[in-house]
Amino acid sequence: MPAADSATRIRELLAFFRATHYDVAMPNGRVATIRTGTRPPADVANWIGDAQFAVYMTSCNPYSRELSQDENERRFDEFRSELRALKVDFLEGTGHIPDDVWREPSLLVRGLDIERIDHLARTYEQNAVLIVPAHAPSRMRIYRLDWRSAAEPAEDIEWANRDAGSKVG
């Protein structure tokens, strides 16, 4: 179970997630940027296609606590391997804040149902993922139910049914 976050940290993390640029390396060599609360670029929507939605997620920095580069690389390699075993499509990406040194390797994944997404987010101890519908604004799916008291209701937030610290059966 993750340590409890203060209301201030929760609001800071939500603002951070909203400010993040979720870049994706598209098959045509172009980099597309996804943002919380906005529709994805046309090439991302086309890549999502009949899947209806994709998810932008990482396995790095569990519960938004910084790990070493080596540990994050190990976790990310494990995450990629798990997705390959599931035989789903994914594109490499990087989350970042413009003009900031922070970079986090991530993947845009299509072909997962919401139950599998939730399982992966909990397995890799993530506070949130970004759900990217092909033809609607992206939204944060948050796994920390203890954050509800500090988060203002918003259209760009949805809550998973169980807390990220819950055991998945």
pTM attached to this predicted model: 0.94
**Residue 167 pLDDT > 70, yes or no?**
no
What pLDDT band is residue 37 in, cutting at 50, 70 and 90?
very high
> pLDDT tens for residues 104-162?
999 999 999 999 999 999 999 999 999 999 999 999 999 999 999 999 999 999 999 87
Q: Which residues of 61-89 are buried (b: 16+ CB within 10 A; e: fewer)?
A: bbbbeeeeeeebeebbeebeeebeeeebb
**Residue 10, CA distances (Å) to 107, 131, 142, 159 in order:** 24, 19, 11, 14
Report which of 141, 78, 67, 138 is spatially closest to residue 104, judged by C-alpha positions. Answer: 67
How far is residue 94's CA from residue 17's CA, in Å, rounded to a whole number? 13
How far is residue 93's CA from residue 22's CA, in Å, rounded to a whole number? 7
